Amino acid sequence: MRKLLLILLPLACVVGCGRLQPPAPYGPCPTDAQLRWQRMEMNMFCHFGPNTFSDKEWGDGAEPEDLFNPEALDCSQWAAVAKAAGFRGIILTAKHHDGFCLWPNPASNHTVAQCAWRQGRGDVLRDLSDACRQAGLAFGVYISPWDRNAPTYGTPEYNQTFRLTLQSALSSYGPVFEQWFDGANGEGPNGKRQDYDWPLFNSTVAALQPQAVIFSDVGPGCRWMGNEQGVNGETCWSRLSIQGFAPGQKSPGTATLNSGQPDGTHWVPAETDVSLRPGWFFHPNEKPKTVEQLLGIYYTSIGRNSLLLLNVPPDRRGLVSAADSLRLMEFRSALDSIFSIDLAQGARVNASEERSPRFRGANLLDTCYDHYWAVTDDNSTPSVTLTFPEPVTFNRVMLQEYIPLGQRVEQFRIDVMERGQWRPLAQATTIGYKRILLTETVTAQAVRLTIESSLATPVINRLALYWDGIYQPPTPQNAK
Ligand code: FUL
């Protein structure tokens, strides 16, 4: 008997203690900076520069510096609009393809320092980084390697010029949360294309701003999701195999970028860049998207495991236009009206299994990010039922995987109980950081989530239900 105890006791401890421990991470996982970035959910993009004044989308680099003349520039107004709309950070086109630098870049002769605006002493990066700091917003920069003005573009020397450009932009304006690299690689003033030195560019950013998440078609911090319409894949993995690929023409196909890869070797989550207006730069004749369109984009970006980077182009005065700020406030109030009441709160939660009381099913209703539901390691198909004191009416189901431990779920379903009968409501593939399902309107006594397939034991930290009376998803009849 003693012998048996001696064998069984350590065994029980191994099993029991394992249940007390969190599940082991699965596959590549986000860094702290990537996790912080993902949790920002919605950031503002600002395309601003000579194109704002020439009414173009791509300048040719020959624009006179004095064209840039935002007489009423007020970055604190941009920040105030961004803050009120619920953005967490702002990314500015510090240098677009025309090469004009919105800050006095010593590595270029085509900058704010060469123009009459503010007697050559203006600095939009200074103004915006200060305004962001004061408003409690993060600050990021877009810097295009394609340069239609730089005389050395198309020669190895340009890579060094671009390194100095990065050095100047990234060392004088405080912390930068995201460095946005455009993969565009057209011809420069001498008709040549540049062979970009991406390892040099990325290492320069990493040395100066180690916390900055680097965006490009293939990361390494986050990836382009393959289109500029705001539509991520219904299946969207945050993993991607990036070895042997580069931004631009050497990137994986757009379909791969749109859905990521379940077996991808790196954590490179999707970012959705899309403009509030038809163009990226401000054009007086264009109008902002409708609230309906913005809600649609919200669902196909944030609702499909992506961060939303919404472009709000300041106008020629250097201000966010009244039409745009009004539309953003309408968008914000629509989001608040949909997502401020989680109809799942107050439900009784019954999980098919709980790893231990610490990882109980009720954690799904707990809004603390680090509280999640988990089961034992060999169980990858658990289910959990929420039973309501009174039937609830909803048409949106929101789920979150606890991504610090990786992304796992590859198929799940939602069933509902109406008048004592269970019936299927929805089935979908990935969850990731956040997934929002658009369902028919249903009044249910209970809701059941079943994980049907998962690459490793699932780790889910949120299940919420909402009612959206504003956005009508396209049906086959009304789809364009
Ligand atoms: C593209 C650019 O060519 C567009 O002008 C814009 O900046 C967009 C965000 O990225 O590659």
CATH number of the domain where residue 395 is located: 2.60.120.260
On the CB side of 474, CA atoms within 13 Å amount to 9
Q: How far apart are CA 371 and CA 15, in angstroms?
A: 22
Helix axes 75-85, 124-135, angle to 10 degrees: 40
Looking at the structure, tell me whether residues 216 and 71 fall in a common domain.
yes
For residue 45, give the nearest of 310, 270, 318, 329 by alpha carbon.
310
Q: Tokens representing 22?
A: 């969190």
Rounded (10°) CA dihedral 276, 240, 208, 114: -40
Q: Tokens representing 352?
A: 């098919």
Amino acid at 182: D
Q: How far apart are CA 375 and CA 151, in angstroms?
A: 61
Spatial CB neighbours of 444, under 8 Å, sequence gap ≥ 6: 388, 391, 392, 394, 416, 417, 418
The pTM of this model reads 0.96
Q: Is residue 352 part of a domain?
A: yes
Ligand 1 pocket check for 180: Cβ under 6 Å = no
Q: Assign 474 a pLDDT band (cuts: 50, 70, 90).
A: confident
**Domain range enclosing 409:** 348-466
Looking at the structure, tell me whether residues 312 and 432 fall in a common domain.
no
- Tell the residue nearest (CA) to atom 10 of ligand 1: 182
Residue in the block written with tokens 């364009």: 480
> Does the pLDDT of residue 326 top 80, yes or no?
yes
| Among 339, 356, 387, residue at a domain's last position | 339
Ligand 1 pocket check for 48: Cβ under 6 Å = no
Looking at the structure, tell me whether residues 108 and 254 fall in a common domain.
yes
Looking at the structure, tell me whether residues 215 and 279 fall in a common domain.
yes
| Kind plus residue range of the DSSP H or E element containing 255 | helix 254-259
Looking at the structure, tell me whether residues 318 and 461 fall in a common domain.
no
* Ligand 1: nearest atom to the Cα of 311: 9
> Does the pLDDT of residue 202 top 80, yes or no?
yes
Looking at the structure, tell me whether residues 127 and 269 fall in a common domain.
yes
Q: Is residue 22 part of a domain?
A: no
Can you give the pLDDT at residue 14? Answer: 47
Q: Is residue 198 part of a domain?
A: yes
| Kind plus residue range of the DSSP H or E element containing 83 | helix 75-85
| Among 311, 339, 367, residue at a domain's last position | 339
Q: Write out pLDDT tens, residues 425-437.
A: 999 999 999 999 9
Q: Write out pLDDT tens, residues 96-146.
A: 999 999 999 999 999 999 999 999 999 999 999 999 999 999 999 999 999
Cα(375) to centroid(ligand 1), Å:
44
Percent of the chain with pLDDT over 70: 95
Ligand 1 pocket check for 98: Cβ under 6 Å = no
Can you give the pLDDT at residue 475? Answer: 76
Radius of gyration for the alpha carbons in the chain, expressed in angstroms and rounded: 25
Cα(182) to centroid(ligand 1), Å:
7
Pocket test of ligand 1: the residue of 182, 282, 311 to mutate, having most ligand atoms within 8 Å of its CB, is 182
Q: Is residue 16 part of a domain?
A: no
Amino acid at 172: S
Strand segments, DSSP code E, in 228-287 are 239-240, 266-267, 270-275
Looking at the structure, tell me whether residues 314 and 418 fall in a common domain.
no
Q: Tokens representing 74?
A: 């007020």
Q: Is 38 exposed, middle or buried (0-12, 13-18, 19+ CB in 10 A)?
A: buried
Cα(183) to centroid(ligand 1), Å:
9
Q: What is the CATH number of the domain that holds 277?
A: 3.20.20.80
Q: Tokens representing 274?
A: 């899309």
Spatial CB neighbours of 233, under 8 Å, sequence gap ≥ 6: 225, 255, 258, 259, 260, 304
| Kind plus residue range of the DSSP H or E element containing 156 | helix 156-171
Looking at the structure, tell me whether residues 423 and 335 fall in a common domain.
no
Q: Is residue 479 part of a domain?
A: no
Ligand 1 pocket check for 217: Cβ under 6 Å = no
Cα(181) to centroid(ligand 1), Å:
10
Contact 369, 401 (CB under 8 A): no
Looking at the structure, tell me whether residues 102 and 237 fall in a common domain.
yes
Residue in the block written with tokens 């912080």: 36
Q: Is residue 20 part of a domain?
A: no
Q: Write out pLDDT tens, residues 51-70.
A: 999 999 999 999 999 999 99
Percent of the chain with pLDDT over 90: 94
Pocket test of ligand 1: the residue of 280, 309, 310, 311 to mutate, having most ligand atoms within 8 Å of its CB, is 280
* Ligand 1: nearest atom to the Cα of 146: 3
| Among 319, 339, 359, residue at a domain's last position | 339
Ligand 1 pocket check for 280: Cβ under 6 Å = yes
- Mean pLDDT across 235-247: 96
- Tell the residue nearest (CA) to atom 4 of ligand 1: 280
Cα(388) to centroid(ligand 1), Å:
48
Strand segments, DSSP code E, in 130-285 are 138-143, 178-180, 213-216, 222-224, 239-240, 266-267, 270-275
Name the domain count of the chain: 2
Spatial CB neighbours of 359, under 8 Å, sequence gap ≥ 6: 22, 372, 373, 374, 375
Q: Is residue 474 part of a domain?
A: no
Q: Write out pLDDT tens, residues 13-33.
A: 445 567 889 999 999 999 999
Cα(148) to centroid(ligand 1), Å:
14
Contact 264, 237 (CB under 8 A): yes
Q: How far apart are CA 213 and CA 232, in angstroms?
A: 20
For residue 382, give the nearest of 451, 465, 305 by alpha carbon.
451
Q: Is residue 21 part of a domain?
A: no
Can you give the pLDDT at residue 3? Answer: 57
Cα(416) to centroid(ligand 1), Å:
44
Q: How many other C-beta atoms lie within 10 A of the C-beta of residue 278?
A: 12
The 8-class DSSP code of residue 343 comes to: T
Ligand 1 pocket check for 273: Cβ under 6 Å = yes
Q: How far apart are CA 133 and CA 440, in angstroms?
A: 43
Can you give the pLDDT at residue 16? Answer: 58
Contact 94, 169 (CB under 8 A): yes
Looking at the structure, tell me whether residues 368 and 281 fall in a common domain.
no
Looking at the structure, tell me whether residues 248 and 178 fall in a common domain.
yes
Q: Is the peptide bond before 220 cis (omega within 30 degrees of 0)?
A: yes
- Mean pLDDT across 292-300: 98
Cα(263) to centroid(ligand 1), Å:
29
* Ligand 1: nearest atom to the Cα of 280: 6
Ligand 1 pocket check for 63: Cβ under 6 Å = no
Q: Phi then psi for 20, rounded to 5 degrees?
A: -80, -25
Can you give the pLDDT at residue 6? Answer: 52
Q: Where are the alpha helices (DSSP H) in 260-302?
A: 291-300
> Does the pLDDT of residue 355 top 60, yes or no?
yes
Looking at the structure, tell me whether residues 414 and 317 fall in a common domain.
no
Cα(98) to centroid(ligand 1), Å:
12
Cα(405) to centroid(ligand 1), Å:
33
The distance in angstroms from the start CA to the end CA of the chain is 74
Q: How far apart are CA 387 and CA 446, in angstroms?
A: 4
Q: Tokens representing 131?
A: 């305004």
Ligand 1 pocket check for 271: Cβ under 6 Å = no
The 8-class DSSP code of residue 345 comes to: T
- Mean pLDDT across 359-381: 97
* Ligand 1: nearest atom to the Cα of 144: 7
For residue 136, give the nearest of 73, 180, 170, 87 by alpha carbon.
87
Cα(267) to centroid(ligand 1), Å:
24
Can you give the pLDDT at residue 249? Answer: 86
Average pLDDT, the chain: 95
Cα(70) to centroid(ligand 1), Å:
21
Q: Tokens representing 242?
A: 């990036």
Ligand 1 pocket check for 14: Cβ under 6 Å = no
Amino acid at 53: F
Q: Phi then psi for 275, rounded to 5 degrees?
A: -105, 145
